[in-house]
Structure 1
Amino acid sequence: MPNLEEWIPNRKAKQIFAEIRRSGTVSKFDLLDLSGLTSSTLTRMLEELAASGWIEESGFGESSGGRRPLLYRLKQNRGYVFGLDVSRATTRLVLCDLQLEKLDSASWQMTEKMTPAHLLQEVVQAIRRMTDKHRLQPDRLLGVGIGAVGPVDRTKGVMLNPLYFRAEGWNEVPLGPQLERELGVPVLLDNGANTALLAEYWAGSQQYRHLLYVRAGIGLRSAMMSNGQLVYGAVDMEGSVGHMIIQTDGPPHPERPHVYGCLESFVSIPVLEKQAAARLKQGRRSVLAEWVERPEEIEYRHLLRALSADDRLVTELFTQAATYFGIGLSNLLNILHPEKVILGGPLITTNELFYQISTQVALKNTLYYPTYPVTFTRGKLSDEALAVGAAAMVVDRLTS
């Protein structure tokens, strides 16, 4: 099994490949400026990359007085990567080319029956089916990237002890080594927040030096990027944002009862569902009572439907959760000072109220605002960000 780092063996060629990938389409003249290489060395590297099929000529650029410059871009069909997003509600698989254009996809609902063994079988079958369908040759398949619910051990490719999975067995799962044995290609694993941020970076945020990504759904997940590189700590930091204490005498964490008043105790889909059920039991009026026989049957889809109907109780619950989320975001802004904050996940993408209130509260409580020009945005790739970013992780490794 070839190492990803060995596909492009020359260090200077890696540098040129990375610059062309970052620019999309770039002239030889611009590459001289970006790379700092001599003209003869750059020419040799371009010829080497073109001969091995990694790049191709793409016409001529605008003339600045002399001959029109020759343009280069990645050769999309030189390599293909699979990206896998292993999340609590839905797992997604995408097949992408070198420029992260999606060619195919599959998804599975994470029910009580979706154990790690069952999911692995489904994923392997889907990868083999897509490989046959698109007639991918072995020397074109670079590898598989996995963005999984943390915490994870990236070095060993293991999902450690994630919360909220409905099926049993989701502890100490060596997903990376298992897929490598089944498929015979390199497999990389990172937490899903990191891969989502990678996807959003390559989808049009390369001009920002400092990026923060926060995903709000069944739980809270975050990632940080500085100067185009993901920021890592001594342990996996994906779920740390949810354990930020914002009220010391607040409710216990849903899964860690010894932790009181953390952000995830106020902001998550399970918390909203439980709060709605509790209010119905207290006698609060809501259209929810017409849609379920028992308060415990309330699901997120019911809450969204009620929110669309301007239900007073549900609007109150979402407003409260968004306010707490905004407070958590302001704490992150005051510590990390990103230029851009990308928000994703079901709580962000499925309703406007939560996004607007949380970002307004965050800005109001941020030091140096409005002179600190932070930008908030929803993720461009929505639900597929984690899987596409997992594929991007494999392409990134080519030039590491």
Structure 2
Amino acid sequence: MGKHIKGVTSIKKAVYDRIAMQDDISKAEIMNEFQMTSSSLTRLLEEMTNEGWIMESGFGQSTGGRRPILYRINANFRYIFGLDISRIYSVLGLYDMRMQPLAMVRWSMDESMTPERLVQHVQQQVEQMLSEQGIAHNLVIGMGVGAVGPLSREQGKILNPLYFAAPGWKDIPLRRWLEEATGLSVTLENGANTALTGEHWMVRDEHIQHMLYVHVGTGLRSAMMSNGHVVHGAVDMEGSIGQMIIQTDGPRLHGAGNYGALEAFASVQALEQQVRARSKMGRSVWDSQVAVKPEAINFTTLVQSLETGNDHIKEIFAQSAAYMGIGLANLINILHPEKIILGGVLINSHDLFYNTAIAVAEQNIYYSNSYRPVFSKGLLEENAVATGAAVMVWHEMDL
């Protein structure tokens, strides 16, 4: 039974979405999924081809008659920007209609990167990318933004996120500022949701309906997809996973949040804080040939020490990853996703963290005979948020 969709615009977009799901699709394959007459679909495909949304890509195999015409979306008909605003770095990408990146730039979110400075930088990069690619401004559909929360998607505002190095990140009307600076339509969403959207796009041919994304970095963020749609709560609190209590009498991170919360054990800040504390107390942390003063300890020095085989740092990372695994198991036992994507600088810092977190999670997941979730770092990794932000605009556009 094919899909029955009301409205010419919605039919057009649904057919376009179906063509985008695979390269080189025939009219017969499209007909299998939509309640349309052959003549109606032929007219619609001709209209979309004449407008430039899709293009003929050759001929398929004959089944006894004429070889069927194959279609695919026209990658260079329009373009979309995707912006990732995170605490450690931000990323801006320019994408074609197949979500292939044509240009990508990354910059550090240091003490100088205030909201005003970021908007100015994005404006400059947008103009430079379009100029270098020879793309007219009016061919850009818009810009999707995946940002650290909490935020208001409806108001287009970043509310009061923690741990930005630069001052001023509170109650920022980011959507309005970016639209005024770039002249583009802007859509704001939290970064965990756009990362999940991007990773789901990359495996769209697998038809996964229930997917969990967890970002482990300066803070912890999560997003869930059910029946192919991102789940939104009553409020945007993407960092709530960090407040999951895993040890009732445990510490708090920087004296805030819940006691024994996951973020106090498994985050970049927790690792830095723990190593600094051990170092100040005179406890052995560094190998004899390398020593770092407590005030100079940061995540980069920790990863460097881990890569050189420092047993003390290795133990701290492994313990942090084990706590992360417990948090993952708690989420999975509640949500039962088919696939779990792990991202963020801590996940990608070293295989030790990723592998340990998964091993502990698997040991603590309640399995039924028919449920075995799949773990992955994802295909996009550090570009997941920006790519997913562009995909979000792609999904919401009108033809």
TM-score by length of 1: 0.94
Query: 1:18-97 to 2 correspondence within 5 Å?
Result: 18-97=17-96
Change (3 A) 1:337 1:293: closer
Q: Is the 8 A contact 1:81 1:394 kept in 2?
A: yes
2:316 counterpart residue number: 317
1:388 aligns to what? Answer: 387
What is the count of residue pairs matched by the alignment? 392
Q: Give the share of equivalent positions with the same residue, in percent.
A: 46
Q: Which residue in 2 is equivalent to 1:4?
A: none
- Map 1:145-184 onto structure 2 (within 5 A): 145-184=144-183
Query: CA-atom RMSD, angstroms?
Result: 1.8
Which SS does the other structure have where 1:34 is aligned? coil
Residue matched to 2:266:
267
Tell me which residue corresponds to 1:223: 223
SS of corresponding position for 1:182 = helix
How many Å apart are 1:371 and its aligned residue? 4.3
Unaligned runs of 5+ in 2: 1-6
Q: Distance in 2 between matches of 1:289 and 1:162?
A: 39
Give the match's secondary structure for 1:347: coil
**Shift in Å at residue 139 of structure 1?**
3.1
- Answer yes or no: is the 8 Å Cα contact 1:289–1:295 preserved in 2: no
Deviation at 1:9, TM superposition (A): 7.2
Is the Cα contact below 8 Å between 2:86 and 2:148 reproduced in 1?
Answer: yes
Q: For residue 237 of structure 1, what is the aligned residue in structure 2?
A: 237
User: Are the counterparts in 2 of residues 149 and 162 from structure 1 also a CA contact under 8 Å?
Assistant: yes
Cα drift, residue 32 of structure 1: 0.5
Q: CA deviation at 1:255?
A: 6.0
Q: Distance in 2 between matches of 1:331 and 1:338?
A: 12
Report the residue type matching 1:220 in the other structure: L
Provide the C-alpha distance between the structure 2 equivalents of 1:9 and 1:108, rounded to a whole number of angstroms: 43
- Shift in Å at residue 368 of structure 1? 1.7
2:127 partner letter = R
Equivalent residues in 2 for 1:284-299, closer than 5 Å: 284-287=283-286, 291-299=290-298
| Cα distance per residue 1:104-156 (max 9 Å; x no partner) | 12222111111000111111011011112222223311111100001111111
Matched position secondary structure for 1:146: strand
Give the Å deviation of 1:399: 5.0
CA distance change for structure 1 residues 369 and 278 in 2, over 3 Å: closer, same or farther? farther
1:24–1:202 CA distance, 2 compared to 1 (3 A): farther
Q: Distance in 2 between matches of 1:369 and 1:392?
A: 34
CA 1:9–1:336 in structure 2 vs 1: closer, same or farther (change >3 Å)?
Answer: same
**Residue 30 of structure 1, CA deviation:** 0.7
How has the CA–CA distance of structure 1 residues 292 and 156 changed in structure 2, closer, same or farther, with 3 Å as cutoff?
farther
Deviates more, 1:136-145 or 1:208-217: 136-145
User: Could you list the per-position Cα deviations for residues 255-307 of structure 1 after superposition, in whole angstroms to 9, with x for gaps in the alignment?
Assistant: 625x2111111110111011111122233323367545521211111111221
After superposition, residues 85-164 of structure 1 pair within 5 angstroms as 85-164=84-163
Amino acid of the structure 2 residue aligned with 1:253: L
> CA distance change for structure 1 residues 162 and 291 in 2, over 3 Å: closer, same or farther?
farther
Structure scoring higher RCO (CA < 8 A, sep ≥ 6) equals 1
Name the CA shift for 1:290/1:158 in 2 (closer, same or farther; >3 Å). farther
Deviates more, 1:79-88 or 1:277-286: 277-286
Q: Deviations over 1:48-94 (max 9, x none)?
A: 11111100011112233433222111101110011110010111100
Aligned partners of 1:330, 1:399: CA distance in 2, in Å? 40
Deviations 1:334-388 (A, max 9, x none): 1100000011111111211111111111111111256421000112111111111
The AA in structure 1 aligned to 2:216 is A
| Counterpart residue type for residue 124 of structure 2 | Q
Aligned AA (1:217): G
Q: State the partner residue of 2:354.
A: 355
Task: Provide the C-alpha distance between the structure 1 equivalents of 2:187 and 2:214, rounded to a whole number of angstroms.
Answer: 22
Aligned twin of 1:338: 337
Contact 2:275 2:285 in 1 (8 A): no
The equivalent residue for 1:211 is: 211
Partner secondary structure for residue 147 of structure 1 = strand
Distance 1:118 1:78 in 2: 32
TM-score, with normalisation over the residues of structure 2?
A: 0.94
SS in 2 for 1:326: helix
1:68 aligned counterpart, secondary structure = coil
Task: State the 1:227 CA deviation.
Answer: 2.4
Equivalent pair of 2:119/2:181 in contact (CA under 8 Å): no
In structure 2, distance between residues paired with 1:386 and 1:216: 13
Structure 1 CA distance, aligned partners of 2:255 and 2:43? 58
2:256 counterpart letter in structure 1 = R
Measure, in 2, the Cα distance between the counterparts of 1:205 and 1:279.
46
SS at structure 1 position matched to 2:233? coil
Worse-superposed segment, 22-31 or 117-126: 22-31
Structure 2 equivalent of residue 247 of structure 1: 247
Q: What runs of 5+ residues in structure 1 fail to find an aligned partner?
A: 1-7
- Output the CA distance in 1 between the equivalents of 2:18 and 2:9: 14
Contact 1:211 1:226 in 2 (8 A): yes
